C-alpha cells in the first residue's frame, strides 16, 4: 500500500446479478459495513455491475448516500451512432459512473480486444470524464515463455499511448491464470509486477502520475489473502471478482485494515 494513495477495493461483478439482486446486495453490503463500524474514509469502494444494473444501483447509492463508487465493465470507443449493442461513455457519465473497467482479460479473450482497442477505449473513457481501470496480465503460457511482467508491461505501454500526464487512471494487474482459479499470485510476485507497471506509468506520464496512480492486484483475492497483498508498497488495492458477489466476504475484504496481524 503506497504513500498518500487511498486504497481502492473494486468489485467486478462480471455477468452476475440482475438489477433486483444488485439492489439487495448493495443494501446488505452497506449495512454490513455499518454494523462493523467501518470507517469509509480509509478505503474507497467501487462496484462494477452489469450495464442493466447501473441505473438501479446509482439511484440507490444516491438516495441513501451510500459511499460506494459506481463503474461500468466496458465502454465503446465511439461517442454515439450506428453501433448496435455498444454503450457510450457519455451515457455512463450521465449515470454518475465515475470509472470503467477496460481491457479485462475476458474481453481480450472473448471479444478479441487488442492493445490498440484498449488504448482507444482508455481515450474514450477519459474524454467522457471516466477513470479507466486498465487491466493487464499474462496468461500461463506467457508466464512460461516470457516471465510474469513482460506482457503486462507491454500491454500497459500501449494502453497509455496518448494519455495526458495529469489524467486520472487506475491500473489493475490481473494474471489470467489467477482469475477465478483459486490460485492467487504470491504477494511478492504481484508486488514485483505492480512495481514494474508503476515504472511504466512513470516513464510514460511522469513522477506525479506514478506516485498518485493506484495499482491494483486482481485474481482470486479473498478475505483470507487480501491483507498480505495490501502490505506490499506498490499494491494499492484489489480488483475482486467472485469474492465481490458475497456480502460477508466482500465486506471483510473491504475491512482488510482490521485483519489480525496487519
Ligand atoms: P476472481 O476474483 O474471481 O479471481 O476474478 C478476478 C477478476 O477477474 C476481477 O476483474
Domain ranges of the chain: 8-258
Contact 97, 130 (CB under 8 A): yes
CA dist 23 and 21 (Å) reads 6
Contact 46, 68 (CB under 8 A): yes
Tell me the pLDDT band of 250, cut-offs 50, 70 and 90: very high
pLDDT in tens, 31-44: 999 999 999 999 99
Query: 246: CA distance to ligand 1 center in Å?
Result: 13
Q: What does the mean pLDDT of the chain come to?
A: 97
Query: 244: CA distance to ligand 1 center in Å?
Result: 9
Query: 50: CA distance to ligand 1 center in Å?
Result: 15
pLDDT in tens, 175-185: 999 999 999 99
Residue 261 pLDDT > 80: no
Q: Write out residues with Cβ below 6 Å of ligand 1.
A: 12, 104, 174, 179-180, 218-221, 239-243
Residue 260's pLDDT is 61
Residue 120's pLDDT is 98
Q: Which CATH number fits domain 8-258: 3.40.50.620, 3.30.365.10, 3.20.20.70, 2.40.37.10?
A: 3.20.20.70
3-state per-residue secondary structure call for the chain: CCCCCCCEEEEECCCCCCHHHHHHHHHHHHHHHHHCCCCHHHCEEEEECCHHHHHHHHHHHHHCCCCCEEEECCCCCCCCCCCCCCCCHHHHHHCCCCEEEECCHHHHHHCCCCHHHHHHHHHHHHHCCCEEEEEECCCHHHHHHHCCCHHHHHHHHHHCCCCCCCCCCEEEECCHHHCCCCCCCCHHHHHHHHHHHHHHHHHHHCHHHHHHCEEEEECCCCCCCHHHHHCCCCCCEEEECHHHCCHHHHHHHHCHHHCCCC
Residue 7's pLDDT is 98
CA dist 6 and 170 (Å) reads 12
Residue 27's pLDDT is 98
pLDDT in tens, 185-239: 999 999 999 999 999 999 999 999 999 999 999 999 999 999 999 999 999 999 9
CA dist 33 and 47 (Å) reads 15
CA dist 233 and 11 (Å) reads 21
Residue 178 alpha carbon, nearest atom of ligand 1:
4
Q: How many other C-beta atoms lie within 10 A of the C-beta of residue 88?
A: 18
Residue 259's pLDDT is 87
Residue 72 pLDDT > 80: yes
Residue 222 alpha carbon, nearest atom of ligand 1:
2
Q: Is the pTM of this model over 0.95?
A: yes
Tell me the pLDDT band of 24, cut-offs 50, 70 and 90: very high
pLDDT in tens, 115-160: 999 999 999 999 999 999 999 999 999 999 999 999 999 999 999 9
Mutate which of 9, 10, 12 for ligand 1? The one with the most ligand atoms within 8 Å of its CB, which is 12
Catalytic residues: 104, 174
Residue 180 alpha carbon, nearest atom of ligand 1:
4
The C-alpha cell at 135 is 487491466
The closest residue, in CA terms, to atom 7 on ligand 1 is: 241
Residue 124's pLDDT is 98
Contact 162, 206 (CB under 8 A): no
Residue 78 pLDDT > 90: yes
Residue 105 alpha carbon, nearest atom of ligand 1:
8
Query: 174: CA distance to ligand 1 center in Å?
Result: 8
Amino acid at each position: 500500500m503506497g504513500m498518500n494513495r487511498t486504497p481502492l477495493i473494486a468489485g467486478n461483478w462480471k455477468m452476475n446479478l440482475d438489477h433486483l439482486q444488485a439492489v439487495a446486495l448493495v443494501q446488505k453490503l452497506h449495512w454490513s459495513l455499518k454494523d462493523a463500524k467501518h470507517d469509509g474514509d480509509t478505503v474507497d469502494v467501487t462496484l462494477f455491475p452489469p450495464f442493466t444494473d447501473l441505473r438501479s444501483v446509482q439511484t440507490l447509492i444516491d438516495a441513501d448516500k451510500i459511499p460506494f463508487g459506481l463503474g461500468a465493465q466496458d465502454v465503446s470507443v465511439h461517442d454515439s451512432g450506428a453501433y448496435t449493442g455498444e454503450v457510450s461513455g457519455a451515457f455512463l457519465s450521465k449515470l454518475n459512473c465515475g470509472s470503467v473497467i477496460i481491457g479485462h482479460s475476458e474481453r481480450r479473450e472473448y471479444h478479441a480486444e487488442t492493445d490498440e482497442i484498449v488504448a482507444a477505449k482508455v481515450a474514450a473513457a477519459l474524454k467522457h470524464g471516466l477513470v479507466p481501470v486498465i487491466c493487464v496480465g499474462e496468461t500461463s503460457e506467457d508466464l512460461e515463455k516470457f516471465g510474469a511482467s513482460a506482457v503486462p508491461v507491454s500491454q500497459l505501454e500501449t494502453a497509455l499511448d496518448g494519455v495526458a500526464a495529469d489524467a486520472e487512471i487506475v491500473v489493475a494487474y490481473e494474471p489470467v491464470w489467477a482469475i477465478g482459479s483459486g490460485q492467487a499470485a504470491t504477494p511478492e510476485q504481484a508486488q514485483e509486477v505492480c512495481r514494474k507497471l508503476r515504472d511504466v506509468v512513470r516513464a510514460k506520464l511522469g513522477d506525479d502520475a506514478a506516485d498518485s496512480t493506484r495499482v491494483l492486484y486482481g485474481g482470486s483475492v479473498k478475505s483470507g489473502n487480501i491483507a498480505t497483498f495490501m502490505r506490499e508498497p506498490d499494491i494499492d488495492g484489489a480488483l475482486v471478482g467472485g469474492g465481490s458477489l458475497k456480502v460477508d466476504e466482500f465486506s471483510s475484504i473491504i475491512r482488510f485494515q482490521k485483519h489480525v496481524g496487519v
